[in-house]
């Protein structure tokens, strides 16, 4: 269950995400939204919506993917940029990556999920998972799947061009497996994101790009780039001593999204988000899109905020 409106969680005032009960949004496509949106039950027709852990292992146990492995006492799984992290500038320092990554079979991950801290991600195309999430759902020709058709429809509102050409795939579909309590710490993605919850439940706090500076992202040359230095779950005394700007007025707000099996979350690029698994096991599928044209309307609010921040 989503928490009540305007509850303070981890030093952040949370407001529940807007929930849609059908695929229509303001006569435009879901990617045209400037806020996170949950479409309840939009993926219930997918075969994967009936997954159980047993069925997942039986059907897809041999699927391989990159697994982030954390220390026994750690539940946080930040992404470490492999290209930056392996360069001499960082390997010659005392800096240590917070997690290690290893290619593993899904079966080995799930069987050890509660004994060792692991977070699995794997490509979907070309694997047995492909059939369970449905070929129409993975095709760039969206005509045969109402979810993806609605997501991309109207993306070029106001233009005469074909809406289907307004956005292109920025990242192929990925499967994510995690255990209760696992956290993907606050970070932003550079593309529009679609998360389909296939099994279990996740809770996300999403921050408008206007909050980015106060969350103190790592510089772009750091292995943890796009990640926030601020840990919103940390002790308040420690946070105030290290990141006083985080507590400046107005109070930090976030959009809280709780997604259950069959739900779909769509959120714009560059919204920082913190993700927590709140069920024994969670299975999610993500897909990302970017505007075909570099300066398409979706990027304008962020660019305007950058200009305003630079002028201060």
Q: pLDDT digit string (tens) for 188-216?
A: 998 889 899 999 999 999 999 999 999 99
Q: What are phi and psi of 253, to 5 degrees?
A: -115, 150
Contacts of 267 (CB under 8 A, 6+ apart): 35, 36, 37, 192, 193, 195, 206, 257, 273
Q: Is residue 283 part of a domain?
A: yes
Contacts of 107 (CB under 8 A, 6+ apart): 57, 61, 62
pLDDT at 256: 96
pLDDT at 149: 64
pLDDT band at 236 (very low <50, low <70, confident <90, very high): confident
pLDDT band at 125 (very low <50, low <70, confident <90, very high): confident
Strand partners, 273: 187, 206
Q: Give the range among 5-9, 16-20, 108-112, 239-243 with minimum mean pLDDT.
A: 5-9
- Residue range 228-252: average pLDDT? 90
pLDDT of 94 > 50? The answer is yes
pLDDT of 271 > 90? The answer is yes
Q: Is residue 13 part of a domain?
A: yes
Task: Please tell me the total count of domains within the chain.
Answer: 1
Q: Is residue 140 part of a domain?
A: yes
pLDDT at 267: 92
pLDDT at 158: 39
pLDDT of 143 > 60? The answer is no
Strand partners, 265: 38, 195
Q: What are phi and psi of 106, to 5 degrees?
A: -60, -40
Q: Is residue 12 part of a domain?
A: yes
- Is there a contact between 291 and 300 (Cβ–Cβ < 8 Å)? no
Q: Is residue 2 part of a domain?
A: no
Q: Is residue 14 part of a domain?
A: yes
pLDDT at 246: 92
What is the tens place of the pLDDT at every residue in 100-113? 888 999 999 988 88
What is the tens place of the pLDDT at every residue in 40-74? 988 887 777 778 888 888 888 888 998 888 876 66
pLDDT band at 81 (very low <50, low <70, confident <90, very high): confident
- Is there a contact between 33 and 151 (Cβ–Cβ < 8 Å)? no
**Per-residue b or e along 162-191, where b marks 16 or more CB atoms closer than 10 Å to that residue's CB:** ebbebbeebeebbbbbbbbebbbbbbbbeb
Strand partners, 207: 272
Going by the DSSP 8-state scheme, the letter that residue 125 receives in this structure is T
More confident residue, 222 or 161: 222
163: domain CATH number is 2.60.120.10
State the residue range of the domain holding 271: 7-311
pLDDT of 303 > 50? The answer is no
- Is there a contact between 191 and 174 (Cβ–Cβ < 8 Å)? no
Q: What are phi and psi of 9, to 5 degrees?
A: -130, 120
- Is there a contact between 285 and 175 (Cβ–Cβ < 8 Å)? yes
- Is there a contact between 117 and 74 (Cβ–Cβ < 8 Å)? yes
pLDDT at 145: 61
Q: Which of 20-34, 138-152, 259-273 has the highest mean pLDDT?
A: 259-273
pLDDT at 3: 39
**Per-residue b or e along 95-126, where b marks 16 or more CB atoms closer than 10 Å to that residue's CB:** eebbbebeebbbbbbbeebeeebbbbbbbbee
- C-alpha to C-alpha distance for 227 and 298, rounded to whole angstroms: 22
pLDDT at 212: 94
- C-alpha to C-alpha distance for 84 and 78, rounded to whole angstroms: 14
pLDDT at 43: 83
Going by the DSSP 8-state scheme, the letter that residue 154 receives in this structure is T
More confident residue, 133 or 28: 133
- Is there a contact between 151 and 246 (Cβ–Cβ < 8 Å)? no
pLDDT band at 234 (very low <50, low <70, confident <90, very high): confident
More confident residue, 146 or 305: 146
**pLDDT over 90 percentage in the chain:** 29
pLDDT at 1: 34
Q: Is residue 64 part of a domain?
A: yes
- C-alpha to C-alpha distance for 214 and 219, rounded to whole angstroms: 14
pLDDT at 148: 64
- C-alpha to C-alpha distance for 20 and 24, rounded to whole angstroms: 8
**pLDDT over 70 percentage in the chain:** 71
pLDDT at 225: 83
Q: Is residue 81 part of a domain?
A: yes
């Amino acid at each position: 269950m989503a928490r009540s409106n305007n509850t303070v969680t981890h030093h952040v005032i949370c407001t529940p995400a807007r929930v849609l009960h059908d695929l229509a949004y303001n006569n435009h496509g879901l990617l045209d939204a400037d806020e996170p949106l949950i479409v309840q039950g939009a993926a219930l027709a997918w075969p994967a919506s009936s997954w159980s852990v047993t069925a997942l292992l039986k059907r897809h146990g041999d699927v391989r993917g990159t697994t982030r492995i954390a220390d026994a006492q750690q539940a946080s799984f930040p992404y470490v940029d492999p290209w930056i992290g392996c360069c001499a500038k960082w390997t010659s320092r005392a800096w240590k990556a917070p997690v290690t990554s290893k290619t593993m079979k899904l079966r080995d991950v799930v069987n050890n999920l509660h004994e060792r801290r692991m977070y699995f991600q794997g490509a979907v195309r070309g694997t047995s998972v492909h059939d369970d999430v449905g070929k129409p759902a993975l095709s760039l020709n969206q005509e045969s799947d109402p979810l993806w058709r609605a997501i991309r429809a109207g993306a070029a509102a106001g233009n005469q061009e074909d809406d289907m050409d307004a956005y292109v795939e920025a990242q192929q579909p990925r499967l994510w497996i995690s255990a209760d309590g696992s956290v993907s710490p606050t970070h932003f993605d550079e593309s529009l994101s679609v998360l389909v919850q296939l099994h279990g439940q996740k809770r996300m706090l999403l921050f408008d790009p206007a909050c980015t500076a106060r969350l103190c992202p790592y510089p772009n040359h750091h292995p943890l780039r796009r990640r926030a230095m601020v840990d919103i779950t940390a002790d308040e005394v420690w946070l105030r001593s290290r990141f006083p700007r985080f507590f400046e007025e107005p109070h930090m707000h976030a959009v809280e999204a709780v997604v259950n099996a069959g739900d779909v979350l769509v959120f714009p690029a560059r919204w920082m988000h913190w993700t927590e698994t709140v069920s024994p096991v969670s299975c999610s599928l993500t897909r990302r899109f970017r505007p075909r044209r570099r300066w398409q309307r979706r990027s304008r609010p962020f660019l305007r905020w950058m200009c305003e921040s630079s002028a201060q």
